[in-house]
Structures are given as C-alpha cells and as structure tokens.
C-alpha cells in the first residue's frame, strides 16, 4: 500500500515538473522544473526496483544535463520575451504530452501492481556494461561526439552573439 501511494506521489511530481517546464516564466525556471521531473523519475525507478537506472537518472540527467541546460541559458543570455508567438502552441502541446505521460504512468503503474514471475538474480550492471560496450559501442561513441559538437556549437554561437552586441 505504501509503495502505491509513493508511486502516485512521485508520478504526480513528475507530471508537475513537466508542466512546470512548459509554463515556466523563463528558461531558468523551466530548467528547475526539468530537475524536479528528473528527480521524480529517478525516485520512480527506485520504487520499480531498478537502482542502476535510478542512479544513472540522477547522475546523468538530473546532474549533468540540467547543468548543461543552465550553462546554455547563461551563455546565450535567453531573455524573457523571446519566442512569444510560438509559446502558446508549445504550452498546449506540452500539456497534451504531459497528459499522455500521466496515462502511461498510470497504465504501467497499474501493471506493476500485478505480480510477475520473479526476476533472475545476477550481476545486471556487468551484463548491461558488457552489452553497452560491445554491441552498442559505436552508437555510444556517436552520442558522445554529438554532445561534444553541440557544446562547441553553443560556445561558437554565444561568441558570435557577444561580438554582435559589442
């Protein structure tokens, strides 16, 4: 019973964080809403007995990705009034996607209440690392290069914008 209540609370926190991202007054507040969403999802993973995925969620997404978003916001100096013409579409689309997220969490949460066959015990981290670094090594490296290219592009764009201002 306690797990069900905690699951519902964290699911609502994840949805509230997603809505906060959409309705945030500026990019910094939206990034904080994203942090709330990522932390709530990490707590959901803990409740679903997936500690490795939860730890990865906290370290990679809540730690690194949100910090990277905040650096981009600070480097580009995103002002409050930019993009007002598309903001209403983004809000309604985001609210629709948040509703779909709620339905998905509700569906899978109800499925989690039905007992399944017990999982085989074993070293899942070693199995995941072996799979990731053998069969999926190229996509993993490509993702790393893509993130590096994105960060370089942000720095170049911020430098050009700063030169235009001066």
pLDDT in tens, 84-131: 555 666 667 667 767 776 776 677 666 666 665 554 555 676 777 777
pTM score: 0.55
Assigned token pair, 56: 């990865």
| Angstrom distances, CA of residue 142 to CA of 39, 137, 146, 152 | 27, 9, 6, 15
CB 10 within 8 A of CB 43: yes
Of 61, 75, 60, the residue nearest 28 (C-alpha): 75
Between 97 and 138, the higher pLDDT residue: 138
């Amino acid at each position: 019973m306690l797990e069900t209540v905690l699951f519902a609370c964290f699911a609502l926190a994840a949805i509230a964080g997603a809505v906060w991202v959409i309705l945030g007054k500026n990019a910094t507040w939206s990034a904080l809403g994203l942090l709330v969403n990522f932390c709530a999802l990490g707590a959901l993973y803990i409740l679903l007995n997936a500690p490795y995925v939860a730890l990865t969620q906290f370290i990679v997404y809540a730690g690194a990705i949100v910090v990277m978003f905040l650096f981009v916001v600070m480097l580009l100096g995103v002002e409050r009034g930019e993009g007002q013409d598309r903001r209403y579409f983004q809000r309604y689309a985001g609210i629709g996607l948040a509703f779909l997220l709620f339905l998905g969490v509700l569906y899978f949460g109800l499925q989690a209440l039905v007992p399944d066959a017990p999982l085989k015990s074993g070293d899942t981290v070693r199995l995941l690392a072996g799979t990731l670094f053998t069969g999926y090594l190229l996509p993993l490296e490509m993702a790393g290069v893509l993130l590096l290219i994105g960060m370089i592009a942000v720095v170049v764009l911020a430098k050009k914008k700063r030169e235009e201002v001066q």
